């Protein structure tokens, strides 16, 4: 089997998508950060010294989504048409779930963009809260769904 990111001489390459048809593509990814009750309460009440953690994480997630091709070597620079972020409070953990939805009309998918956005957003929560709790855990970063393109639709089945 020939890997798509290697040429016939096994040299790294970016996949050529110039002959692919454009289609409307959407990817949704999510991840979780768990933390101490103290850190959770301080973030919710906006008592952290570094400012509004969740709002900053959303901005970071959008920026991470937009800059994916700068971070992942073989990703194409994409003209995203929409990036939406949602932060869900999970007091039972305690922690937060960050979900990123990326959209475009193009020749290649946006899964990596959504996953990168989630990762950067969660890392921002960690960075802004590490003075309170260094034991935070980032987990369950995953693709929830994707649509469009030759490979069709995918939706994660509930566990």
Q: How many domains does the chain have?
A: 1
Q: pLDDT tens-digit profile of 57-112?
A: 999 999 999 999 999 988 889 999 999 999 999 999 999 999 999 999 988 889 99
* From 21, 127, 133, 140, active-site residue: 127
Does a structural domain hold residue 154?
no
Does a structural domain hold residue 31?
yes
Q: Which residues span the domain enclosing 128? A: 23-148
* Cβ atoms 118, 28 nearer than 8 A: no
* Cβ atoms 109, 26 nearer than 8 A: no
Residue for token digits 């996949």? Answer: 15
State the CB neighbour count (10 A cutoff) for residue 47. 11
Does a structural domain hold residue 17?
no
Does a structural domain hold residue 89?
yes
- For the entire predicted model, the pTM comes to 0.90
127 is catalytic: yes
Whether pLDDT at 15 is above 80: no
What CATH number is given to the structural domain containing 56? 3.30.70.640
Does a structural domain hold residue 102?
yes
pLDDT of residue 9: 73
Identify which of 106, 112, 94 has the alpha carbon closest to the alpha carbon of residue 149. 106
For the chain, first and last CA: distance in Å? 31
Does a structural domain hold residue 18?
no
State the CB neighbour count (10 A cutoff) for residue 128. 20
Does a structural domain hold residue 88?
yes
Does a structural domain hold residue 61?
yes
Report the C-alpha gap between 56 and 126 in whole angstroms: 11
């Amino acid at each position: 089997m020939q890997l798509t990111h290697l040429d016939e001489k096994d040299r790294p390459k970016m996949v050529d998508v110039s002959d692919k048809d454009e289609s409307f593509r959407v990817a949704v990814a999510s991840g979780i950060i768990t933390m101490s009750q103290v850190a959770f309460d301080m973030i919710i009440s906006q008592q952290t010294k570094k400012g509004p953690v969740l709002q900053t994480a959303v901005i970071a997630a959008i920026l991470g989504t937009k800059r994916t091709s700068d971070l992942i070597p073989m990703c194409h620079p994409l003209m995203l048409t929409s990036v939406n972020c949602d932060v869900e409070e999970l007091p039972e953990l305690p922690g937060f779930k960050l979900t990123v939805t990326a959209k475009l009309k193009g020749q290649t998918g946006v899964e990596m963009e959504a996953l990168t956005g989630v990762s950067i957003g969660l890392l921002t929560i960690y960075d802004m809260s590490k003075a309170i709790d260094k034991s935070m855990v980032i987990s369950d970063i995953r693709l929830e769904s994707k649509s469009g393109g030759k490979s069709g639709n995918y939706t994660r089945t509930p566990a």
